[in-house]
């Protein structure tokens, strides 16, 4: 039941222009970007097959030892959500890599 009070929505800013946006007013886009490290099966050649597999595994484990859980995850999967006002979205969606 509506009690006459208007809920105060949190305010957020457009990632590009900084314009204040109020969720629920239809004036923004929530953009979700998912990046996944090369999802295709690895390609091996004769040189790769001739290497010492154990040494390569040890090298990779040593490389990972210096990373925390989040850093290791970010190397293979990353999801970012940001907000754009309608005007910035209309410009950004046409050429997302140029901004």
| 27 vs 9 pLDDT, higher one | 27
* pLDDT over 80 at 45, yes or no: yes
Cβ-Cβ contacts under 8 Å for 82 (sequence gap 6 or more): 15, 30, 31, 33
CA 15 to chain centre: 14
Contact between 5 and 74 under an 8 Å Cβ cutoff? The reply is no
Is there a contact between 27 and 21 (Cβ–Cβ < 8 Å)?
A: yes
Per-residue pLDDT, averaged over 87-91, amounts to: 96
Instruction: Give the pLDDT score at 30.
Output: 97
Containing 93, the helix (H) or strand (E) segment is helix 86-94
């Amino acid at each position: 039941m509506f009690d006459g009070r208007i809920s105060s929505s949190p305010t957020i800013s457009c990632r590009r222009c900084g314009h204040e946006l109020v969720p629920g007013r239809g004036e923004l886009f929530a953009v979700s970007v998912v990046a996944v490290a090369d999802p295709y099966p690895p390609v091996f050649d004769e040189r790769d097959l001739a290497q010492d597999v154990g040494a390569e595994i040890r090298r990779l484990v040593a490389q990972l030892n210096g990373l925390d859980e989040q850093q290791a995850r970010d190397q293979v999967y990353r999801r970012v959500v940001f907000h754009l006002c309608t005007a910035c979205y209309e410009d950004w969606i046409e050429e997302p890599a140029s901004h």
